[in-house]
């Protein structure tokens, strides 16, 4: 089933097109009548000029040599008027074709118009049982709803794009931080290895330190004995 609002919109659109076509047809008919009157007047003027030209040429036949320049000018003028007449005839033919096309379109729209009357009656019933004053107010409200829906869809699309961009930035940030954490873990493992190596070296160095202290004590005892011997020797 067709949407009543959409069908009524189509009805209004078609009626508007019919009114425009009727107005355009009337304007074309008026312009066509005016064009025909102008062309008829031009034809009468052209016939009169041709008659005058013919009489003038008959009078000028006896003096062709003296009036050769005038004859050439008259011929040029006649050719120009003939070309203008051809142009007017082409314009008239084009206007007739446009008028026929408009008449056909008008008849086609008139045939389509009756099937939209039921939607008009439906909307009139809606106006009677709603807060709307007339059908035009319903169509205006409908257009406002369409614009609001379009703006809402655009806003949703914009938020979706922002969300996707935020997700991409978050993934990049997570990847960078994970790389940093991995680097820190590697450093921590290496430092732990150094610490374990240092702890394993502590007993060795403690043994070496104890050995050094023992040798130093022995050397100190020998040194004191040597000092006492030297002292006794001097005594």
pLDDT tens-digit series, residues 90-143? 888 888 888 888 888 888 877 776 666 566 666 666 667 766 667 677 778 778
What pLDDT is recorded for position 193?
A: 86
Residue 64 phi/psi, 5-degree rounding, is -65, -45
Check pLDDT > 50 for residue 1: no
CA–CA distance, 106 with 21 (Å, rounded to integer):
6
Closest CA to 70 of 57, 58, 88, 80: 57
Phi, psi of 190 (to 5 degrees): -65, -40
Average pLDDT over residues 144-166: 89
The model's confidence at residue 3, banded by pLDDT at 50, 70 and 90, is low
DSSP state, residue 134: S
Q: What would the mean pLDDT of 3-14 be, rounded to a whole number?
A: 68
Q: Tens digit of pLDDT for each residue in 33-58?
A: 887 888 778 778 878 877 887 777 77
In this predicted structure, what is the pLDDT of residue 10?
72
DSSP states of 147-175: HHHHHHHHHHHHHHHHHHHHHHHHHHHHH
CA atoms of 11 and 120, how far apart (whole Å): 8
What rounded mean pLDDT belongs to the chain? 79
């Amino acid at each position: 089933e067709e949407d009543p609002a959409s069908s009524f919109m189509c009805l209004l659109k078609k009626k508007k097109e019919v009114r425009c076509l009727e107005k355009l047809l009337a304007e074309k008919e008026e312009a066509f009548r005016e064009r025909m009157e102008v062309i008829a007047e031009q034809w009468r003027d052209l016939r009169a000029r041709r008659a005058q030209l013919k009489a003038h040429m008959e009078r000028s036949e006896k003096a062709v040599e003296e009036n050769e320049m005038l004859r050439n000018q008259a011929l040029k003028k006649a050719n120009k008027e003939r070309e203008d007449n051809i142009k007017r005839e082409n314009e008239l033919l084009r206007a007739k074709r446009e008028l026929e096309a408009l008449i056909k379109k008008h008849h086609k729209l008139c045939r389509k118009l009756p099937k939209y009357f039921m939607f008009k009656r439906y909307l009139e019933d809606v106006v009677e049982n709603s807060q709307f004053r007339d059908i035009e107010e319903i169509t205006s409200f409908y257009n406002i709803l369409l614009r609001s829906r379009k703006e809402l869809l655009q806003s949703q699309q914009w938020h979706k794009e922002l969300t996707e961009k935020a997700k991409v930035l978050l993934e990049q940030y997570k990847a960078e931080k994970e790389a940093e954490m991995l680097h820190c873990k590697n450093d921590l493992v290496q430092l732990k290895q150094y610490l374990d190596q240092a702890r394993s070296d502590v007993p060795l160095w403690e043994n070496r330190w104890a050995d050094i202290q023992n040798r130093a004590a022995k050397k100190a005892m020998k040194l004191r004995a040597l000092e006492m011997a030297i002292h006794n020797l001097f005594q």
